[in-house]
Amino acid sequence: MARDFKRRQEAGGSLRRVLRFLSSMQLGIGLLLLLAAISIFASLQEQEKAVADIYRSFWFIGIMAFAALNLLLCSLRRVKPLARLALQPQKVQTVEAIKKMPFYRAVKLTPADGGGGGAEKASAALRALGYHVSVAESPEGKKIFGEKGRSGYFGSFLTHFGLLVILLGALVGSLTGFEYTGGGIAGDSFQVPGGNFTVRIDGVRMVQEPDPTVRPRVYSDVVVTRGGSQVAAGTVAINEPLRFQGNTIYHKTFRYVSEIVIKNPATGEETTKQVSEQDLLAVGSEGSYIHFLKFFPNFSMTEQGMPYSINWLPEKPVLAGILYNSAGQGERPVLLQLDKPQVIAVAAGEIELTLKDFQDAVVYTVTRNLGRPLLLAGALVLVFGLYLCFAVSPRRLYAACERDGDVIHLGGSSYRGRIGLEEDLARVAKELAQQEVEA
Amino acid sequence: MAGAIEVSPAGLFLENMLFALAVAGYLAATAGYLAYLFGKKSLGSYASRLLHLAFFLHSAFLAARTVNVRRVPFVGHFEFGNLFIWACVLVYLWTERRQKEKYYAVGAFLAPLVVLYIGYLTVVPKIFTKVTISRAHTLLPPVLQSNWLKVHVSASVLGYAGFTLAFAVALMWLLKARLQEKSAFARALPEFAVLEEYMYRASVFGFLFQTVMIITGAIWADTSWGRFWGWDPKEMWSLITWFVFAVYLHARFTRGWSGLRTVALVVAGWFAMLFTWVGVAWLLSGIHSFG
Ligand code: HEM
């Protein structure tokens, strides 16, 4: 039995040792340095490759999870001692103990201040410095305890807690999220499979910047429906997404959709097609086609014959492409100007093409991120925690008179030896000493 | 189709003139602080006055630039660099004013760093053709038209300024340690403990703003790109810098590290910061390549 007990104790001992290691700051520092080293290596790779091979790999996520576990265990282990330290200060200290504190001073009192007057003055001076003061009677005499900046004890705990909430938010976001790209021109709708809703584009407006060479801003009105009923509606523009139920519709970019009328001059037969950049359009029945490359709102040519757009004003719209024959060989460039019919000779005969109209099409990124509230809350807690860590310094000051009453002992400590306490101590001492001089 | 702004010749002249004067002022102040360091103690207050003057001229330059570009001068390598240099001087002068002549020696290390940064903006592009630092007056593309831009950039220049100041003090520490107590020069530098305290405070200042920078950057990325974090090199290097300073703060406070090991961490953190600013732009590519 005794041996059993010993073995259990040993097991407990090694479990405790493992826990101590897992919650240790050495491990934390090591993991942070490791993450930094991996990130340095990864940032030197192509970004897509780094994301695919490293940041999304199970081992990288594993290291992050390990760091989170370390942080969690470390915080948990410290909760109790921290609470005891912060909330249950030992308010009564012997003169001997005060003498041994990191900061210590003794002030000789005047007869007037002896026997209690000094203690009152000391507590008044502490209150004036913003300390919470409590006074206790003891056989030794009056004991004064002053405390300030208690919230500062919780700074690092809140910082770490904020970090954990952020990591949790990231986890929730990546487990429940999706990303989808879709879009169209006014009147179009598209289905977002991951979100089980449909987005309808009701209108698209292009607002030109004062300088026509700056890319215009595009505003689009969208309506979101699910099962026939409206879920959300609003205007989307760059930097102004539409958010609903954890989903967000972002304006990603815009492009032009051209309307082309294709006419067979021989038969008079006409068809209308919508094309956008990079689309292929079959012309004639022989396999010839046009590859549309780019839409220029205000077309011009450089001296070297390179097409470009002077600015974003739609003053001379041109849709440019290349005509390919059925063997896939490029034959010649095609430049379609608005309302100017152009006759193109292909193997099957002649075809007349006209750029009839063009419209602004919007491309959206639709995402769901249910982790967003956690991410934002975690960030707030993190910043608040850092503020408490670095801007608030918790201090404790003790004052006690000797039994015969003519010397008051002042001592104190500040959390992790921060400065500031020494000045407070000097001020209280000066306050008492001034009385002495004046008396 | 770049968005260039027409600037009046007078406006352009004023801007260029103020920039040249500010650079001259920084050079003169640097000479003054170095003279102070090498024994001309009486020059300390003159160096400080010169730095104040240069700072004033530099502020005027930023104001002229603001008028010329008709927006905050927060965009592109040239504007960001100037704002960053300005923030370094601001933060240093603020500490100097609080501590008076006690910190003139820090100025002798900070001012050369400021000159180094100016050299990067002005001389380096003339030597390395790959580095093109445009001074063109450009309009803001819509993606940058956001109030987050102002918060994000302000936080980042203040963060970088804190780290630069910490690095300047780390250099002092290293020099003092190298020369040992024998030399009068080393003795003229503040005590190791004072230097370490200063380095710690500057790092904390930088760390706080670096945190705000990363968070506001992520929130802004979420509203314009549809994601908080995209693992792009600029984001990653800010995070690396942040990690290094986090390690420094933990090591100092909870492990009780001091001396060379902490100085080395601050130096490493500064290099990470410098790489975020300079290296990522020219050696790596990413979505942040506009700034
Ligand atoms: C990954 C594992 C981490 C572990 C195990 C860890 C552990 C610790 C421990 C034990 C303390 C001392 C707490 C106290 O005395 O109250 C501390 C302080 C602190 N930690 Fe962490 N930490 C980690 C990560 C981080 C990170 C990434 C940050 C970044 C913001 C951070 C920010 C802080 C701050 C600001 C303090 C206060 C430091 C000071 O007062 O100078 N910690 N940490």
- Asked if B243 lies within 8 A of A33 by C-beta distance, the reply is yes
Residue B232's Cα: distance from chain center in Å? 22
pLDDT at B104: 86
How confident is the model over B241-284, as pLDDT tens digits?
Answer: 999 999 999 988 777 788 899 999 999 999 999 999 998 888 77
By CB neighbour count within 10 A (0-12 exposed, 13-18 middle, 19+ buried), where does B123 fall?
exposed
Confidence tier at A104 by pLDDT (50, 70, 90): confident
- The token duo for A363 is 């491309």
CA of A287 to the centre of ligand 1 (A): 68
- Asked if B208 lies within 8 A of A25 by C-beta distance, the reply is no
pLDDT at B184: 76
Confidence tier at A49 by pLDDT (50, 70, 90): confident
- The token duo for A325 is 């024959």
Q: Contact at 8 Å (CB) between A42 and A55?
A: yes
Judged by a CB distance cut-off of 8 A, whether residue A230 touches chain B is: no
Confidence tier at B286 by pLDDT (50, 70, 90): very low
Start-end of H helices in B5-146: 9-37, 44-69, 76-99, 104-122, 124-127
By CB neighbour count within 10 A (0-12 exposed, 13-18 middle, 19+ buried), where does A82 fall?
middle
pLDDT at A239: 86
pLDDT at A362: 94
- Asked if B240 lies within 8 A of A40 by C-beta distance, the reply is yes
The Cα B215–Cα A384 span in angstroms is: 13
Residue closest via CA to ligand 1's atom 12 equals B254
Report, as an integer, the average pLDDT of A394-411. 81
Which tops the pLDDT comparison, A210 or B233?
B233
Arithmetic mean of pLDDT over chain A: 87
pLDDT at B125: 87
pLDDT at B165: 97
Confidence tier at A1 by pLDDT (50, 70, 90): very low
The Cα B138–Cα B63 span in angstroms is: 16
CA of B51 to the centre of ligand 1 (A): 37
Ligand 1: atom nearest CA of A382 is 30
What number of CA atoms fall less than 13 Å from residue A3's CA on the CB side?
Answer: 0
Which tops the pLDDT comparison, A187 or A117?
A187
Residues in chain B with CB shorter than 8 Å from the CB of A42 are 231, 236
**What is the crossing angle of helices B192-224 and B233-253, to 10°?**
150
Judged by a CB distance cut-off of 8 A, whether residue A207 touches chain B is: no
How confident is the model over B161-216, as pLDDT tens digits?
Answer: 999 999 999 999 999 998 876 777 777 788 898 899 899 999 999 999 999 999 99
Residue closest via CA to ligand 1's atom 8 equals A25
Residues 6+ apart with CB under 8 A from A262: A270, A271, A272, A273, A281, A283, A351, A352, A353
Which tops the pLDDT comparison, A268 or B117?
B117
pLDDT at A63: 93
Does the pLDDT at position A439 exceed 50? no
User: Given the DSSP bridges, would you call strands A229-236 and A330-337 parallel, antiparallel or unpaired?
Assistant: unpaired
Q: Which fold has domain A101-149+396-437?
A: Double Stranded RNA Binding Domain (3.30.160)
Neighbours of A25 (CB within 10 A): 14
- The token duo for B6 is 């027409």
Q: Identify the closest residue of chain A to B149 by CA–CA distance.
A: A239
Report, as an integer, the average pLDDT of B60-84. 92
> Which of A123-127, A167-171, B191-195, B285-289 has the weakest average pLDDT?
B285-289
Neighbours of B49 (CB within 10 A): 12
Task: Output the ligand 1 site: residues, CB below 6 A.
Answer: A 25, 28, 31-32, 67, 70-71, 74, 156, 159-160, 163, 386, 389; B 246, 249-250, 253-254
As a whole-number percent, the residues of chain A with pLDDT over 70 amount to 93
Ligand 1: residue of A73, A160, A161, A383 to mutate (most ligand atoms within 8 A of CB) is: A160
Does the pLDDT at position B31 exceed 90? yes
Residues 6+ apart with CB under 8 A from A266: A349, A350
Please give the single-letter amino acid code of residue A380. Answer: L
Does the pLDDT at position A123 exceed 90? no
**Of the candidates B24, B154, B23, B2, the residue with the CA atom closest to the CA atom of residue B87:** B154
Neighbours of B3 (CB within 10 A): 19
pLDDT at B1: 40
Report, as an integer, the average pLDDT of A35-43. 91
How confident is the model over A140-153, as pLDDT tens digits?
Answer: 778 889 998 889 99
ipTM: 0.90
Neighbours of A428 (CB within 10 A): 28
Which of A32, A252, A383 comes nearest B243 by C-beta? A32
Residue closest via CA to ligand 1's atom 28 equals B246
Consecutive H or E run containing A133: strand A132-138
Q: Contact at 8 Å (CB) between A196 and A226?
A: yes
Q: Is A363 left (phi over 0), alpha (psi -120 to 50) or beta?
A: beta
Domain boundaries, chain A: 101-149+396-437, 257-360
Q: Contact at 8 Å (CB) between A395 and A424?
A: yes
pLDDT at B92: 96
Which of B233, B237, B239 comes nearest A47 by C-beta? B233
pLDDT at A436: 44
Confidence tier at A265 by pLDDT (50, 70, 90): confident
